[in-house]
Amino acid sequence: MLPGNGANGMTPLFCYGTLRHVPLLEIVLGRPLDGLHVSEAILPDHAVCQVKDQSFPMIVPENGAQAAGLLIRDLTASDIARLEFYESGFERNLNPVQVTPEAGTPESAQVFFADASLWSPGDPWSLQDWVNEWAALSCRAATEVMDYFGVKSDADIARLFPMITARAAASLNAVAGRRPTSPSGMSCANVKVVDHIRAYTDFFAMDEYNLSFDRFDGSSSAVVKRSVFLGGDAAIVLPYDPVRDRVLLVEQMRMGPFGRGDPDVWQLEPVAGRLDAGEAPEDTARREALEEAGVTLGRIETVAECYPSPGSSSEFFYIYVGLADLHDGLAATGGLVSEHEDIRSHLIDFDRLMEMTESFAVKNAPLALAALWLARHRDRLRKSGAE
């Protein structure tokens, strides 16, 4: 932390990037901006650039450029600690600079600079473009990040951040894709939360609630304890070759059967993967097919959009059948080393797939659902695939 020159002894902070978005800044600070002196300012000879392959910006020296931002005075030591905790996930550190505020008299400030060895600058960054595309997700992710302030380390947040953003994206997807299905018209508004804790957080998370809910007779239930496993949204795709009339399945070790005590820990299943933040489900399906099995998908058909276990899990599946050229050379091993994946691909004729499904040899629910959907639509797909 730098020595101060403000009214409370703290050096003013210059925010050039996402923290210029006031709702995000207030989430990070844990309080409204009331009582803080906030003004527009310029950091001379610097430019704000998009970080390559990321949604957030970085600031870089550039002669003659002017980086616009907010100059925030009267921050407390607690405010700075919260800001440092949040920014640590982006590998940033505070450094002293001279900025020019609206009044025009240069003054000392501190600014978060990204580690140039980890991030590379790209095109000029636009705050408005970021607000339009990423602000809602970033605010939801920041809410979870700041819940861990004083509980988890900077290193923990950096490690967990992909899943934090995946959970934030899932909550936005849930609202954007809402199709009311309750014949009784019930919704979240009919649930009253008494208290809520995050009981466990690592790659996945577990929340515990004490809540009551409206009953069909118009009364309210007693307060009950309920737990929910928090996964992300996932895209699942069954590659199908309509010319060769066969599918591609992948086999890998799965913790669900292992935890249940099932000897069949290696499972056959479709290609699947978690949606990255801001990624469309079909794009995830295409990416995962290439990563896991080396398959380039053509047309994709939607099988279902559903909760696999709504009584206990937030996981949501986008299930597809994707048309592909499944030549003999695709039966191999694959997966990302960075994610410790060890995946074997299998090419299976349609008739064999149906035998496995009908004899209950298929234990993977999305695979069974996709196989039965394929049985219904197979003739149409084979006709269109041959044309």
Which residues are designated catalytic?
A: 339
Question: Cα 157 from chain centroid?
Answer: 14
Give the DSSP H or E segment for 154: helix 154-176
d(CA 96, CA 108): 7
Q: How does DSSP classify residue 33?
A: S
- For 89, phi then psi, to 5°, come to -65, -20
**Which own/partner contact pairs does 326-329 have at CB distance under 8 Å and 24+ positions apart?**
326/239, 326/240, 326/241, 326/244, 326/246, 326/247, 326/248, 326/295, 327/244
Give the length of the chain.
Answer: 387
d(CA 51, CA 46): 15
- And the tokens for 382? 């084979």
Nearest to 199 by CA among 170, 229, 223: 229
Nearest to 163 by CA among 197, 206, 194, 192: 206
- For 300, phi then psi, to 5°, come to -115, 135
SS3 6: coil
